[in-house]
């Protein structure tokens, strides 16, 4: 019996303490629910060149989540990454050839909030909405130990996780 290989989602984001909850409470569970094995480069074990590993995982991953809003690379870092990309020229061709020639991609309209939606804000929304299903009767949220839960007829954020990003919102 052959085992199906789990797809990889590589996460590029700051390693700062204030970002840990975003990764562990939002990104990681969402990736796992979608069937991905996800990782950040700081989860890899052993000695390695961090820039080389980042480039490697960019090319071998099935999906990438990236938050580089605070990234401020030095010229040396740019040069090292550029050199690594040159070393993997064949990877670039193999991975990007299906995307050529350059073409426009059109997306349906969508909304995006300027701020993270917290468990507290989403619980308020569900309570204002008065139900946990959309117009088509589809469930809009799954209860989660670090998210929101229903007590009688009222949605509440889990204690100590009120200001964490809401997770397990269905689409």
pLDDT digits (tens, 9 = 90+) for 102-151: 677 777 887 777 677 888 999 999 999 998 888 888 888 888 777 899 99
Q: How far apart are CA 53 and CA 167, in angstroms?
A: 29
Q: Supply the pTM of this predicted model.
A: 0.45
Per-residue CA distances from 118 to 78, 158, 169 (Å): 35, 11, 11
Instruction: Give the three-state DSSP class for 118.
Output: strand
In which domain, by residue range, is 74 found? 7-99
Do 139 and 171 lie in a common domain?
Answer: yes
Residues 141, 169: Cα–Cα separation, whole Å: 4
Residues 78 and 140 in one domain: no
Cβ–Cβ under 8 Å, residues 41 and 50? yes
Instruction: Report yes or no: 141 and 3 within 8 Å, Cβ to Cβ.
Output: no
The count of structural domains within the chain is 2
């Amino acid at each position: 019996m052959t085992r199906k290989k789990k797809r990889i989602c590589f996460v590029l984001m700051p390693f700062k303490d204030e970002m840990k909850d975003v990764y562990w409470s939002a990104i990681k569970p969402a990736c796992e629910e979608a069937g991905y094995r996800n990782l950040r480069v700081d989860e890899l074990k052993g000695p390695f060149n961090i820039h080389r590993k980042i480039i490697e995982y960019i090319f071998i991953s099935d999906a990438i989540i990236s938050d580089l809003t605070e990234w401020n690379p030095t010229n040396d870092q740019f040069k090292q990454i550029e050199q690594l990309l040159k070393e993997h020229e064949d990877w670039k061709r193999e991975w990007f050839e299906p995307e050529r020639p350059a073409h426009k991609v059109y997306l349906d309209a969508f909304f995006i909030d300027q701020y993270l939606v917290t468990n507290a804000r989403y619980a308020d929304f569900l309570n204002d909405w008065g139900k946990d299903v959309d117009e088509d009767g589809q469930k809009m949220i799954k209860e989660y130990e670090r998210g929101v839960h229903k007590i009688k007829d009222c949605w509440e954020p889990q204690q100590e996780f009120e200001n964490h990003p809401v997770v397990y919102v269905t689409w």
